[in-house]
Amino acid sequence: MTHALFDPITLRGLEIRNRVWIPPMCQYMVEAQDGVPTPWHLVHLGGLARGGAGAVVVEATGVVPEGRISPQDLGLWNDEQRDAFRPITDFIHSQGAVAGIQLAHAGRKASTSREWGPTAGGGNVAPEQGGWQPVGPSPVAFPGLHVPTELTVEGIADVVRAFAVAARRAVDAGFDLLELHGAHGYLLHEFLSPLSNERTDQYGGSLENRARALLETVDAVRAEVGEDVPLVVRLSATDWVEGGWDLPETEQLSAWLGEHDVDLVSVSTGGNVQNAPIPVGPGYQLPFATAIRQATGVPVAAVGMIDDPFQAEQIVALGQADVVLVGRGALRDPNFPIRAAQALRVDLPYKPAPYERAYR
Ligand SMILES: Cc1cc2nc3c(=O)[nH]c(=O)nc-3n(C[C@H](O)[C@H](O)[C@H](O)COP(=O)(O)O)c2cc1C
């Protein structure tokens, strides 16, 4: 029996040891509010690499301070941050995993509170607690949050440049794979969705125009890092409401992303509409990933309550997706990949040697 999930995959010459990866997951653990990774991030991400994942993708990391979701997010807009990521990428590599990072701008959903501590509650964080005024494509608020300041054309160019500069720092910090956050109602998704983009210039209106900010970002990042670095774009395949961003538009955009040298589309959904009717359940987003793969031929990652090894194996074996991302399942059990291999009776050559006796 072949084991699709534990077959390597190669993106742009980078061989990744298997197809069970860790998706970006915000930790909100930068207490100093300076975007600099801490021992928490080393232990958290290092543990996930030790657990056997093919790639570990670091949480949404702000390309500019005002692009963070919360004041406690990671950032990559200065050299101190870059240098502090190095021990993390070194450790991930020492475990045989690929180090990825999600570069992000939170747009109108920036400057919000984490779920715990003195600022808990999910609303905007006040300036005296480290908050700031968010920006967006249009002055249209996400329900319950501040009305964002509309970005000027020059402001959009600054954001695009910031993604490219952060991408350079990411590569210099040792990251092998870069992901751009185009999902979950953050800035690049806000440009895509007619629900958050009411612009009448070249960045609003037609699909070509709404996709322009993302495609310019992809091109700027590629020009900065060169041809060797695999590039992933995360998209929400639907806003889950009538009149919002939808699957046909995602398919067209994914085809364009393929033409713009993007190597894999990570297919999530939602995030731009409050209380959208999302039919959450095991593998609930998988059909979107499969549809995009079939429509475009671009490799895809599937995500969303894929916590069962046999389900994950089947997804890859049947060609429904090229990669499976396990998020919360890996928070519950950072050794999910090793344990999935056990369940599938695959003898992994990369169980940590000091832990071998635990698996006999
Ligand atoms: C604690 C937590 C933080 C998350 N942070 C991010 C993030 O930074 N960027 C992102 O694209 N998705 C983020 N997500 C979404 C996950 O990457 C993933 O898509 C989602 O949890 C569904 O997969 P799962 O059912 O395997 O957890 C986060 C999810 C969780 C649970």
Query: What is the pLDDT at residue 360?
Result: 81
Q: Residues with Cβ < 8 Å from 36, sequence gap 6 or more?
A: 30, 74, 75, 80, 81, 84
Residue 337 and residue 163: Cα distance in Å, rounded? Answer: 31
Show the 3-state SS of the chain: CCCHHHCCEEECCEEECCCEEECCCCCCCCCCCCCCCCHHHHHHHHHHHHCCCCEEEEEEEECCHHHCCCCCCCECCCHHHHHHHHHHHHHHHHCCCEEEEEEECCHHHCCECCCCCCCCCCCECCHHHCCCCCEECCCCCCCCCCCCEECCHHHHHHHHHHHHHHHHHHHHCCCCEEEEEECCCCHHHHHHCCCCCCCCCCCCCCHHHHHHHHHHHHHHHHHHHCCCCCEEEEEECCCCCCCCCCHHHHHHHHHHHHHCCCCEEEEECCCCCCCCCCCCCCCCCHHHHHHHHHHHCCCEEEECCCCCHHHHHHHHHCCCCCEEECCHHHHHCCCHHHHHHHHCCCCCCCCCHHHHHHHC
φ/ψ of residue 233, rounded to 5: -120, 130
Residue 104 and residue 282: Cα distance in Å, rounded? Answer: 27
Residues marked as catalytic = 186
Angle at 186 between CA 165 and CA 240, to 5 degrees: 145
Closest Cα partner for 185 from 121, 244, 122, 109? 109
Query: What is the pLDDT at residue 359?
Result: 84
Q: How far is the CA of 201 from the centre of ligand 1 (A)?
A: 33
77: its two tokens: 């807009």
Ligand 1 contact via 26 beta carbon (within 6 Å): yes
- Cα–Cα distances in angstroms (integers) from residue 12 to residues 16, 92, 196, 286, 330, in the given order: 11, 20, 34, 24, 27
Residue 194 and residue 222: Cα distance in Å, rounded? Answer: 27
Task: Determine whether domain 4-359 maps to CATH 3.20.20.70.
Answer: yes
Atom of ligand 1 nearest to the CA of 330: 26
Ligand 1 contact via 299 beta carbon (within 6 Å): no
Residue 193 and residue 210: Cα distance in Å, rounded? Answer: 7
pLDDT per position in the chain (360 positions), as tens?
A: 457 999 999 999 999 999 999 999 999 999 999 999 999 999 999 999 999 999 999 999 999 999 999 999 999 999 999 999 999 999 999 999 999 999 999 999 999 999 998 878 779 999 999 999 999 999 999 999 999 999 999 999 999 999 999 999 999 999 999 999 999 999 999 999 999 999 999 999 999 999 999 999 999 999 999 999 999 999 999 999 999 999 999 999 999 999 999 999 999 999 999 999 999 999 999 999 999 999 999 999 999 999 999 999 999 999 999 999 999 999 999 999 999 999 999 999 989 999 989 888
Query: What is the pLDDT at residue 2?
Result: 57
Ligand 1 contact via 29 beta carbon (within 6 Å): no
For residue range 232-258, what is the model confidence (pLDDT) as tens digits?
999 999 999 999 999 999 999 999 999
Query: What is the pLDDT at residue 1?
Result: 47
Query: What is the pLDDT at residue 118?
Result: 81
Q: How far is the CA of 241 from the centre of ligand 1 (A)?
A: 21
Residue 307 and residue 319: Cα distance in Å, rounded? Answer: 18
Over its C-alpha atoms, the chain yields an Rg (Å, rounded) of 19
Amino acid at 305: M
Name the residue of 21, 22, 25 to mutate for ligand 1: max ligand atoms within 8 A of Cβ. 25
295: its two tokens: 């429509």
Atom of ligand 1 nearest to the CA of 179: 11
Residue listed under structure tokens 């800035």? 187
Q: How far is the CA of 327 from the centre of ligand 1 (A)?
A: 6
- Cα–Cα distances in angstroms (integers) from residue 15 to residues 102, 165, 167, in the given order: 19, 25, 20
Nearest protein Cα to ligand 1, atom 6:
25
Q: How far is CA 147 from the centre of its chain?
A: 25
Closest Cα partner for 228 from 45, 15, 9, 71? 15
